[in-house]
Structure 1
């Protein structure tokens, strides 16, 4: 199992600087695109009625929108082939009810229909926006990923909708979720959850999302096409199939 307590390294700092430089080019493009569909941001969550944003951009802008896909074969917070023609980046909060709706209903269908067939890769980004328990759950999810159990933890965390910041994601309850998810070393899990490395990883995801203009959850980037909110399954299917066709 990877070390549970390494501090932020020069490589991480370099990567953060690279993300910051990339963000300058992305922000103007994507913020304008996402602004077409984001709500006023007062609740922190998009409505189910959010729509698919912009579908036609010049080549340079398309390349910029594709840039956030990491395609890291060792990424425990991703599922699907690293070289899949379509990458869907998902910015989510474990306290977001619409994120839970997507996780329980739509995502399993996308995994069966597209991920398992090599068409789609899903890359998770922790994007906690609802306060302390969102931050705790994000760190716990990252820590579960250190032991190869992120997606199992994800399913546990989204199994029930909870009132925000009501005690559903305390350390003890997150540890219980990790145990149910098959995390073997719970001491290492708790150490990882409280580590500077967990904090840095989540900040990296958040900075990436904010640089793209993401202000609410769930938010998705399907290759170069933003999709906002817990859209119906057929919206994701149409977007993924169009992206796969364009990638041929």
Structure 2
């Protein structure tokens, strides 16, 4: 049975020799302060071309993870969400054990700018790879409904974190999105990537196309090209993937839903909108 997430561990980390700590610090400040992203046109342009309280002792890391089913009895979710490892049926899990040294910063550091109201009661963090088949499936089939019903209404905010599993084009695409963020267009570029998705390692996310996408969005191409050639955000992308490993991410997409008490629910795979809706509504009704 085919699953709905790319269930692979990254087999490499990025070359961080050319990265600049000041850039990382600047990005972290952006994550904490930038939130007024435009929501109306996020799912647009396609280039025409051929082609717990985690409780803070609550995020399970390593062995000895104790998980408890949550939210109103039996929410059986078809987590057949891994391309290589079929999982028949599981419930979303609340992370109930966490090493005491772990903090919520593992979710918010090395991430995108916030999409939505920074004061929204629910935070959803997605770990994804821009070439991932099921990340694209989530984007096209589920995310827009979440944006319409929960992001625009101020109930949920989203952060995206890179979890690289599919090679160099994925690394370059992740860097390109952060380079676009230097010009305040992260989410527009994020959408551009998924709207031009054409499979895994087929060439659609090579450097030439990444520059084409930037040009289509009207980015300053000199600034963008310098950012890309300098590998400005390589270290941030690398650290984001490491954050995913710390959290036990083994495939993409993987989501963490965090409520105001810092309780965390982990959702694996490109689940149907109703799965997210039930979790969001359960939190909002508490």
Which TM-score band (shorter chain)?
0.7 to 0.9
- Tell me which of 5, 18, 21 is aligned to 1:8: 21
Cα root mean square deviation, aligned: 3.7
Alpha-carbon displacement from aligned partner over 1:151-174 (angstroms, at most 9, x marks no partner) = 111111111442322211111100
Q: How does the TM-score come out when normalised to structure 2?
A: 0.67
User: In structure 1, what is the Cα distance between the partners aligned to 2:122 and 2:228?
Assistant: 31
Q: Is the 8 A contact 1:90 1:221 kept in 2?
A: yes
- Whole-angstrom CA distance in 2 between matches of 1:155 and 1:198: 19
Residue 143 of structure 1: how far off its partner (Å): 0.8
2:190 to 151, 154, 159: 154
CA distance in 2, matches of 1:50, 1:190: 45
Please tell me whether residue 217 in structure 1 is matched to residue 247 in structure 2: no
How far did 1:29 drift? 7.4
Contact 1:78 1:122 in 2 (8 A): yes
Contact 1:51 1:228 in 2 (8 A): no
Contact 1:38–1:216 (CA<8 Å) still a contact in 2?
no
1:189 aligns with 2:224: yes
Corresponding position of 2:267: 227
Q: For residues 54 and 71 of structure 1, what CA distance do their matches in structure 2 show?
A: 23
- The CA deviation at 1:38 is 7.9
Once the two structures are superposed, what CA deviation does each residue of 1:98-137 show, in whole Å capped at 9, x if it has no partner?
1011112211111110111111000010112111111111
> 5+ unaligned residues in a row in structure 1: which ranges?
16-21
Higher-helix-fraction structure: 1
The alignment's TM-score, normalised by the length of structure 1, stands at 0.76
* CA shift in 2, pair 1:76/1:91, >3 Å: closer
